[in-house]
Structure 1
Amino acid sequence: MLFSSSLQRQLSIIFGILMVFLVIILSFLIGQRSIQEVQTEIGDSLADMAYLMGDKLDRYMWSRNGEVEIISEMQTIKEQENLNEIDQLLNQVRESFPAFSWIGLTNEAGEVISATDDILRGIDISERPVYQEALERPFIGDVHEAVLLAELLPNPTGEPMKFVDISMPITTDGGVFTGVLAAHLSWEWAKEVEMAMLNTLKGREDLEIFIVGKNHDVLLGPEEMLGHTLNFNELKHAEPDQAAWAVEKWDDGKEYLTGFALTDGYRDYEGLGWTVIVRQTVDEAYAPTKEMLSYFIVCGIILAVLSSLLASLVARRMAAPLKEISSIADRLRGGEKIDIPIYRGIEEIESLSISLRKLIKQLTKTETDLVEMENVASRDHLTGLANRNGLERYLDRVTHENTPLTILYLDLDGFKKVNDTLGHDAGDQLLIETGRRLKQNIENGEFVARLGGDEFILVLKSPEDPVQRGIDIGNRIVSMLGDAFIIDEHIVHVGCSVGGAVYHPEINNITSVIRLADEALYKVKRTGKNRVYMSEAH
């Protein structure tokens, strides 16, 4: 019952965790997809809104510019003979179009000779841009605060008054310059356009609209932002007549979905290079999506609990046969030879027991085959010593013991002569006897291998004086292999050259040490043979 309870508990936890994990993954994937779709949808709508407002601004400015142009072409304005008539005309225009805060006509010297409500009449405005810029061609100036008119026009709100200038040069039919028709558009009309746009978006009171000048200064927007300079890369790369959007981090530290459109004028009105921006905080934009994800997560948690209960019921049926299989597995691990019984009733358990029976038989056979193959692959078939594979496996194991090792690399002097005079069978017998003598020089845990031909290698564990031990064992081997061999009733004499090197775990690696030992061997071969030389290199 203890095992059944444990399995029940484990499966319940696993199923619960699995369901929670799936819910988290699905929530993440769905959330990311939903947020991306919502982001794109809202971003596009903000960009479209910015474009539409920019278009309204351009059309409005085109209309006002056209109105001023029409007035400037009137014969009464050109002749400048009947100032009373001109006064009535200008006042009538301002009453018909309240966006005009002031309209005035100057003579060729820049003195105001007619104006709405007689404001600035007789004042010289020849130094003002509204006059200077319109001497040769029509002029439309960007938004600026009132200077001369600040104290002369009514200002119920008390806020700083801002205007957009429109002025036209006045010439007679003969082309003689007679003055400038100047108009100041109240910036309030832009706020009216903004309110009209927002009124069409019921339920989206969280949107904010900005109008930004060429220098990226805020001309229209929240009061605390007026005059601030915006430094968005997207604004610098905005293209005329194209709307776009991006997620931007503003100066208040919040991220906003930001739609923007660069105005490009309308018809013959070239525009002032304004950029319209519509923004909404990311939190407010994503709020509906996050609410949906929260609902999805709650449902997922409930599903996880139900899945855990279901797993608990399933575990009760699985517990008994699995307990028995576990017990048999412990006995098999202990070396006992026993077959796993076949359990009926639950198809999966039955299939498991059958598969395990087959697996145990196959593993037993495979293990036996692997041991046999491993022994064959690691042994020299002639001498019975280890071969290169066996050497590599031994070195992989012994180099992890962090113990200094003495490597002796040797070959026989005169072996070729034995092969040539007595034959290869005699040579093979000589190699077998050489391997037997070499094994007499190693202690428990040390190693000897035949690398091929008449080349052998010894690995000695030398924790105290590895160099001296290499010399001692090397000299013993030279002496031992110098004794006569009896091969097929022939007395055979060969010599032995030994090169050695020392492996220090903290200094070098075993491959370089074997190479040093090999180089030491060939140094012996070149300088007299039948002796020992230990490499001093590291």
Structure 2
Amino acid sequence: MSLKSLIVLIVALVLGTAMLVLGVFFQRGLQDYGTATAVRAVEVRAQALGTFLSRALYEEWRDVELTAGQIAINEDPEALQVRFDALADDEGKVSWIGVARADGTVVSARDGLLVGQNVAQRPWFQAGLQGPFAGDVHEAVLLAQLLGNDGGEPLRFVDFSAPILGPGGQVTGVLGAHVDWRWVRSLVTEAAAELELDAFIVNSAGTIILATDSISDATGQLSVFRAATLGVDGTYSETWPDGQSYFSRIVPQFGYETLPDFGWRLVARIDPDFVFGAQRQFMSTMALGAVLAYLMAILAFALVLISLLRPLGTLADMLLKLAKGEPVGYVREHTRFREVNTLSEAVVRLQSGPGEGASR
């Protein structure tokens, strides 16, 4: 093996080892950064989604809260119905709103629905006698036949209720409102899609009542859902039933201003490809760039080495010819490097003979 080949090989091994070590540390650092970025992303986005939904529900609750403080149970039912018809907008949010006396008899409501019927056994009425109330999602009972359903799925509502107080502060009735669950679901689905999240709402019993992605029986057994049932916040990384690993975050409570507690918890999940997909692409680009840089560095070093070792090779050939007694042509003087210059001068002296070399 020539000296040139040996030096190039040694430099290639040293440079390759150094780049490999740096690559390992760089990859680990990038992976840690990616993990921290994914965790931060799911935390911030989950909180944003929870706040958005809480605020949207608060707007509906605020109408109930303000109206309950402005009306009296003995007001003209027709005037109350006009007010309720105005509150029940055309956007599909509020399906029913009405007022019942303390005995549970509905005296006025949107479109006159349920007027004259007794709602004393309904949870929203019983809770409304005690104070402001926000109830978990449930299927329609009394309104199922009256409202009809074009979507094929059972009508489901979220309940709001608040007490109506008389002049002496006594409870004289309850104002109740049923918010269409389809509106809540569309709100969560659209917001989660904008935030690039999968969202799951869990009630206090641990039941997943809303999911923007498919779920199975095994989903509820994940650590993040067990923690959500207990109302514990936190960020989790675990493998889901679909075999993929995700980062997920718990928002333990929906709350905004005076909005009553539903007992809901939000679990937000982010796809790791959000961060690690770009990270893998970046690593591939960096690896390709590193290989090209490595090859270019070795090529440049080899070219420089050839230019440096060529004079030594020429002098070595001349010395070999002199040792064999073969004639040697003109020896050019090299002044760039002291060692090469010394060798060229030695060749000239050997070529000139002992006498001429001594006379010099």
Superposition TM-score, scaled by structure 2 size: 0.71
Code of the aligned partner of 1:209: A
How many matched pairs? 314
| 1:234–1:209 CA distance, 2 compared to 1 (3 A) | closer
The 8 Å contact of residues 137 and 168 in structure 1, kept in 2 or not, is answered as yes
Rounded Cα–Cα distance in structure 1 between residues aligned with 2:243 and 2:6: 47
Q: Find the partner of 2:285 among 295, 307, 314.
A: 295
Residue 510 (structure 1) aligns with: none
The corresponding residue for 1:140 is 134
Q: CA deviation at 1:129?
A: 0.8
* 2:81 aligned partner: 87
Gaps of 5+ in 1: 321-343, 347-538
CA 1:157 to 1:22, structure 2 compared with 1: closer, same or farther past 3 Å? farther
1:160 deviates by 3.8
What are the within-5 Å matches in structure 2 for residues 504-523 of structure 1?
Answer: none
Q: Distance in 1 between matches of 2:254 and 2:274?
A: 31
Kindly provide the amino acid, as one letter, of the partner of residue 247 in structure 2: L
Deviations 1:109-167 (A, max 9, x none): 32333222233333332222112222222221122233333343254443443321111
Q: Decide whether aligned partners of structure 1 residues 64 and 23 sit closer, same or farther in structure 2, where only a CA change above 3 A counts.
A: same
Distance 1:130 1:263 in 2: 20
Task: Give the aligned partner of residue 256 of structure 1.
Answer: 246
1:182 Cα offset (Å):
1.4
Matched, 1:121 2:110: no
Paired letter, 1:276 = L
Within the alignment, does 1:104 sit opposite 2:94 as a pair?
Answer: no
Structure 1 residue aligned with 2:64: 68
CA shift, 1:99, in A, is: 1.8
Q: Say whether 1:131 aligns with 2:136.
A: no
Which residue of the other structure, out of 148, 151, 159, is the alignment partner of 1:165? 159
2:267 matches 1:277: yes
| Aligned counterpart in structure 2 of residue 23 of structure 1, from 12, 19, 24 | 19
Q: Following the alignment from structure 2 to structure 1, what is the Cα–Cα distance between the partners of residues 16 and 256?
A: 57
Change over 3 Å in CA distance of 1:232–1:161 after alignment to 2: farther
> Which one has a bigger Cα radius of gyration?
1
Deviation at 1:294, TM superposition (A): 0.8
AA aligned to 1:109 is D
Q: Is residue 266 of structure 1 aligned with residue 256 of structure 2?
A: yes
Alpha-carbon distance in structure 2 between the residues aligned to 1:61 and 1:198: 16
How many angstroms apart in 2 are the aligned matches of 1:282 and 1:116?
A: 47
**Secondary structure in 1 aligned to 2:59?**
helix
Counterparts of 2:59 and 2:298, CA distance in 1:
71
Alpha-carbon shift at residue 195 of structure 1 (Å): 5.6
Take 1:236 and 1:99, find their aligned partners in 2: how far apart are those partners? Answer: 31
| Pick aligned residue for 2:50 from 51, 54, 61 | 54
Q: Displacement, 1:183? A: 0.9
* Superposed CA offset, 1:252-303 (max 9, x none): 2211132442335233334234333332221332112211111111122223
- Where 2:130 maps in the other structure, the secondary structure is coil
User: CA contact under 8 A between 2:248 and 2:267: conserved in structure 1?
Assistant: yes
State how far apart, in whole Å, the 2-side matches of 1:237 and 1:73 are.
35
Q: Matched residue of 1:134: which SS?
A: helix
CA separation of 1:24 and 1:172: change in aligned 2, threshold 3 A: same
What is the rounded CA distance, in whole Å, between the counterparts of 1:311 and 1:254 in structure 2? 46
Give the letter for the 2:282 counterpart.
Answer: M
Question: Residue 261 of structure 2: SS of its match in structure 1?
Answer: coil
Cα 1:173–1:158 shift into 2, 3 Å = same
Structure 1 pair 188–237 and aligned structure 2 pair: CA distance change class (3 A)? closer
What's 1:232 paired with?
223
1:78 corresponding residue in structure 2: 73
Cα 1:264/1:99, change in 2 over 3 Å: closer
Change (3 A) 1:175 1:259: closer
Cα displacement (A) at 1:44: 1.8
Provide the C-alpha distance between the structure 2 equivalents of 1:194 and 1:20, rounded to a whole number of angstroms: 52
Counterpart of 1:299, as a letter, is G
CA distance in 2, matches of 1:130, 1:58: 19
Distance 1:223 1:154 in 2: 27
Distance in structure 2 (CA, Å) of the matches to 1:189 and 1:134:
23
Deviation string, structure 1 residues 61-84 (Cα, Å, up to 9, x no partner): 333323212222334x4215x222
1:337-376 Cα distance to aligned partner (Å, 9 max, x none) = xxxxxxx938xxxxxxxxxxxxxxxxxxxxxxxxxxxxxx
2:202 aligned partner: 212
SS in 2 for 1:141: strand
Q: Distance between the aligned counterparts of 1:36 and 1:239, measured in 2?
A: 30
Q: How does 1:179-218 map to 2 (within 5 A)?
A: 179-194=173-188, 197=191, 206-218=196-208
> 2: distance between equivalents of 1:238 and 1:29?
40
User: Structure 2: where are the runs of 5+ without partners?
Assistant: 314-337, 341-360
What is the CA distance between 1:234 and its match in structure 2? 8.6
Instruction: Tell me by how many angstroms 1:189 deviates.
Output: 3.7
Contact 1:55 1:263 (8 Å CA) reproduced:
no
Cα separation, 1, equivalents of 2:25 and 2:164 = 67
Deviation at 1:48, TM superposition (A): 1.6
CA contact (8 A) 1:20 1:301 kept: no
Q: Residues 377-406 of structure 1, C-alpha deviation per residue, up to 9 Å, x if partnerless?
A: xxxxxxxxxxxxxxxxxxxxxxxxxxxxxx
Write the deviation string for residues 30-60 of structure 1: whole angstroms up to 9, x where unpaired.
2222232233234323212221222233333
Supply the distance in 2 between the matched residues of 1:33 and 1:243 (Cα, whole angstroms): 27
Q: Within 5 Å, give how 1:102-501 maps onto structure 2.
A: 102-194=96-188, 197=191, 206-225=196-215, 229=220, 231-233=222-224, 236=227, 245-263=235-253, 265-309=255-299, 314=305, 317=309, 345=339
Which amino acid is the alignment partner of residue 32 of structure 1?
Answer: R
Distance in 1, Cα, partners of 2:98 & 2:87: 11
Contact 1:212 1:219 in 2 (8 A): yes
Please say if residues 219 and 226 of structure 1, whose CA atoms lie closer than 8 Å, have aligned partners that are also in contact. Answer: no
Whether the 8 Å CA contact 1:24–1:297 is kept in 2: the answer is no
Q: Distance in 2 between matches of 1:130 and 1:234?
A: 27
Q: Could you tell me how far apart the structure 1 residues matched to 2:206 and 2:198 are?
A: 17
Displacement of 1:243 after TM fit? 7.8
Displacement of 1:12 in angstroms is 4.8
- Aligned equivalents of 2:229 and 2:12: distance in 1? 51
Q: Distance in 1 between matches of 2:9 and 2:147?
A: 78
Q: Letter of the aligned partner of 2:24 in structure 1?
A: F
Relative to structure 1, the CA distance from residue 152 to residue 230 in structure 2 (aligned partners, 3 Å threshold; closer, same or farther) is farther
